[in-house]
Chains A and B, each alone.
Chain A
């Protein structure tokens, strides 16, 4: 069994996380924002898995299960919001919905 060094796993996770964050920050289409958040979730999950396999602990995988559940819940709520948004504004552009300001 070829073992992948933990640094590689973490590096990949970091890159994925940053890409996801960038997506969240710059995309205007709310569906893409949600997808970018998914990427961030998975990057975090990957970091957990690599950590777990490095120290031979099951904790990393358990945490990943938790992240998956969280992601599922987030998508359920998020998509419902997107539907509502589209119904009201006939658009999925996130900048249009900037009414809640101080």
Chain B
């Protein structure tokens, strides 16, 4: 039954082709769009049951569909590779993807680009599945670029507004920097190890290279570049907040639940290589810790509901990178899964709020929505609790596992752990700030909750998953090296880890519920205002990049407006044109001149033939 694996990415692809090529009426388009992903999810379920019934050591399935291309020593086959890691990703992509597709039917109901939207979404799901199922890095790269393209198309989905197009281009270009680095990593790996098949590659890397030598370090660093771009980590994180220009289901599916986790997946997939490069792995941890802190602070002062969630996504991805960096592979994937649940829930709930508020996204124009939007409120509440990692929610288990592993990490473990716990505190603050401002306090508007079943149902299921997802045991023992007995934190440390979100909650309760004027007073002081502006701009990264990269580039473009390199080619064109003019002068239309030309030509050729031996050539 595992043979049906190829159907999983094929269904969405067929859906995409149908939606892209035929102008289907809305009703059929929604059936095709949602149905294709639904079928994929069904297939995934069957495969999951089948695979998990096998003994742990045999949980691997490989399906070669065809030889993709052969070039010299490079043989690339279109081979799907299924192991528990790929299976977990597949379940997230098709499961959460299906719920979001279902939600989109309601959310996008009045949009003129309805079937275009579903076409892109289906293409995205298909590409993402190729990414996680790819047996070799080339296939993975195909999916990688495919999801990048879909992300671009969907951020700029409402293309009439120029700023959406700008955001789409920004996302595409920033991630392209990472992708280039990743491509270089691929070249390097192929050059030295002669294969791009992931399993073979990992094996021969372990045999060829010693741990900590320069080659694996360089290769891992280059791959890390790709992961940083896709997963919006420092220093390539600037595109993610702007990516919120797309429709909200896109933010939920691509920019929270699935695509942005591709970087985490890449590192987990090639973890043998990263284990050979402990320095890079340590950098992964540092970047994760920095990103989670920086984006946490930024989320504290944002006013756009979706931007807050975007920064919190970056922050949670930071946790995953932290986990990867300290070698807690399965904790990272576990957090990836629970994050997919609760962040999708939060985005979908915020989408419901946005619809009911007639596309108003500023949280300070909302308030007291608790009573008039009960479904959104409870969804938001559950998602928020899971995000803040309060006990018994799914986020608690995964984050706790990460922090425990971080604390046990030798060397800088304590500092990283402190950063993680502080990040958890901030997560608590900004999450509850969001909920307090939007759903509590005085009524600022009057909204009517007018959402259909196709919106309510996914919210409900995701609520359940966010609450209970922590119970799911991710079956990853066969994929990752076994960590010596999951570390136990001592009582004090354990308590602090669990307590941090509560402190955050309390601080937010104090600041944003009991004394709603207090934050404003703080901001009005000079250092407060400075800090607020600094954080609001995302720690000035956009400004910095504008000054460091974009402005010099624009200056160079202005200077080189006529294109120096091109002048050579322009010269060639000019000479040709001049010669043409010269020759056209001989075309006088006078027959006798032509006849004379012919006669002279014949004389020259005959002369050449006769005196051939006497000429110098």
Contacts and interface: CB of A to CB of B under 8 A. Distances in A.
A97 B589 CA distance: 8
A26 B592 contact: yes
A8 B586 CA distance: 39
A102 interface: yes
Contact of A102 (B584, B596, B599): B584
Interface string A74-91: 000000000000000000
A86 to B, nearest CB: 16
A24 B595 contact: yes
A15 B221 CA distance: 87
B599 A21 contact: yes
Contact of B588 (A25, A33, A94, A98): A98
B587 interface: yes
Interface string B577-599: 00000011111111110011001
Contacts of B592: 24-26, 33, 94
Contacts of A101: 587-589
Interface string A6-32: 000000000000000100111000000
Contact of A98 (B589, B595, B596, B599): B589
B587 to A, nearest CB: 3
Contacts of B599: 21, 25
Contacts of A26: 592
A21 B592 CA distance: 10
B587 A98 contact: no
A100 interface: yes
- Chain A's interface size range is 10 to 19
Contacts of A21: 599
Contact of A99 (B586, B589, B596): B589
B589 A100 contact: yes
Interface string B449-492: 00000000000000000000000000000000000000000000
Contacts of B588: 98, 101
Contacts of A94: 590-592
Contacts of A98: 588-591
Interface string A37-68: 00000000000000000000000000000000
- Chain B's interface size range is 10 to 19
A101 B585 CA distance: 9
Nearest to A21: B599
A25 B589 contact: no
Interface in B531-552: none
Nearest to A101: B589
Interface string B263-304: 000000000000000000000000000000000000000000
Contacts of A33: 591-592
Nearest to B580: A102
Interface in B585-617: 585-592, 595-596, 599
A99 to B, nearest CB: 6
A101 B595 CA distance: 14
Nearest to A37: B595
A25 B596 contact: yes
B343 to A, nearest CB: 71
B601 to A, nearest CB: 13
A99 B589 CA distance: 6
Interface string B555-590: 000000000000000000000000000011111111
Contacts of B589: 97-101
A26 to B, nearest CB: 7
A98 B586 CA distance: 12
A99 B583 CA distance: 17
A95 B587 contact: no
A102 B589 CA distance: 8
Contacts of B583: 102
B587 A25 contact: no
Contacts of B585: 102
A39 B300 CA distance: 103
A100 to B, nearest CB: 5
A25 B595 contact: yes
Name the residue among B585, B587, B592, B596 with the largest chain A CB count within 10 angstroms: B592
Contacts of B596: 25
A60 B583 CA distance: 40
A18 B94 CA distance: 91
Nearest to A26: B592
Nearest to B586: A102
A86 B585 CA distance: 28
28 contacts: A21-B599, A24-B592, A24-B595, A25-B592, A25-B596, A25-B599, A26-B592, A33-B591, A33-B592, A94-B590, A94-B591, A94-B592, A95-B590, A97-B589, A97-B591, A98-B588, A98-B589, A98-B590, A98-B591, A99-B589, A100-B589, A101-B588, A101-B589, A102-B583, A102-B584, A102-B585, A102-B586, A102-B587
Given A25-B596, A33-B592, A94-B592, 11 more contacts: A24-B595, A25-B592, A25-B595, A25-B599, A26-B592, A97-B589, A99-B589, A101-B587, A102-B583, A102-B585, A102-B587
The 5 closest A-B CB pairs, nearest first, are: A102-B587, A101-B589, A98-B589, A102-B584, A101-B587
